[in-house]
A and B are shown apart, each in its own frame.
Chain A
């Protein structure tokens, strides 16, 4: 059974810093991994989807990597802004009928 862990649980950094959020998963037979953003009390916004055959994906200031052999994914945020403050969730899909398996998220605060 896939388990997903996100470290750290919370992070507070000054505006302008580059930062890395970590996601680890136990089953390397992962089909794809998706990063989401969630604002308080809201739904999830898809940020990046990485297929198992890919090593990384980029969108604007965001870059996500996937290393199946080590069971790790990272989300890199460049030049952080206060508007980036949110909870970031990673979720893996095993390719079957079990849906996405989510971590508990990293609560990110960017200080102005």
Chain B
């Protein structure tokens, strides 16, 4: 069984640009969640998807959007990048419900200059 994978590992973008981060959940996991972790902080919940529908969102603006696909992959899109968007972005998958044990990927380090 493969774990959760994310790509790319690192990314550098300029303020105002758009970025797409990718995640591949564990096979059979129907819920995927995305988190933002600033340096020295705990991860902050962005949103979660269950069977391709967004069913929960944290305190993030609409320029953070996502998609979940039938093949257990998902995307996090961020438009109009700001300097404060620089962080480690983590995705997590769980078997069925968001309350099941969460398995995290290695993260994508995004730097906005």
Question: Interface on A for B, CB 8 Å cutoff?
Answer: 4, 31-32, 34, 36, 41-46, 49, 89, 91, 93, 95-105
Taking A99-B56, A100-B92, A102-B42 as given, write out 9 further A-B residue pairs in contact, using a Cβ cutoff of 8 Å, ordered by the A residue number.
A43-B90, A44-B104, A49-B101, A89-B43, A91-B43, A93-B99, A96-B56, A97-B56, A99-B58
Contacts of B40 in A (CB 8 A): 104
Expressed in whole angstroms, the Cα–Cα distance for A22 and B57 within the complex equals: 28
Instruction: State whether B45 touches A43 (Cβ < 8 A).
Output: no
Q: Verify if B102 is at the interface (C-beta below 8 Å from A).
A: yes
Instruction: Kindly provide the distance from the CB of B104 to the nearest chain A CB, expressed in whole angstroms.
Output: 4
Residue of A nearest to B43 (CB): A102
In the complex, the number of residue pairs spanning A and B with C-beta atoms less than 8 Å apart equals 67
Residue of A nearest to B91 (CB): A43
Instruction: State whether A100 touches B45 (Cβ < 8 A).
Output: yes
Q: A43-B107, A97-B48 are in contact. Are A34 and B42 (CB under 8 A)?
A: no
Q: What 0/1 pattern do residues 98 to 113 of B give for CB contact below 8 A with A?
A: 1101111111010000
Expressed in whole angstroms, the Cα–Cα distance for A97 and B47 within the complex equals: 9
Instruction: State whether A42 touches B101 (Cβ < 8 A).
Output: no
Which of B48, B57, B58, B102 contacts A34, CB < 8 Å? B102
Task: Tell me the chain B residues, 20-77 only, with Cβ under 8 Å from chain A.
Answer: 33, 35, 40-48, 55-58
Q: A49-B101, A97-B98, A99-B98 are in contact. Are A104 and B41 (CB under 8 A)?
A: yes
Instruction: State whether B55 touches A97 (Cβ < 8 A).
Output: yes
Expressed in whole angstroms, the Cα–Cα distance for A96 and B98 within the complex equals: 8
Expressed in whole angstroms, the Cα–Cα distance for A75 and B103 within the complex equals: 19
Contacts of B47 in A (CB 8 A): 99
Instruction: Kindly provide the distance from the CB of A92 to the nearest chain B CB, expressed in whole angstroms.
Output: 11
Which of A46, A93, A97 contacts B104, CB < 8 Å? A46
Instruction: State whether A99 touches B99 (Cβ < 8 A).
Output: no
Instruction: Kindly provide the distance from the CB of B112 to the nearest chain A CB, expressed in whole angstroms.
Output: 17
Instruction: State whether B101 touches A46 (Cβ < 8 A).
Output: yes
Contacts of A4 in B (CB 8 A): 42
Instruction: Kindly provide the distance from the CB of B32 to the nearest chain A CB, expressed in whole angstroms.
Output: 11
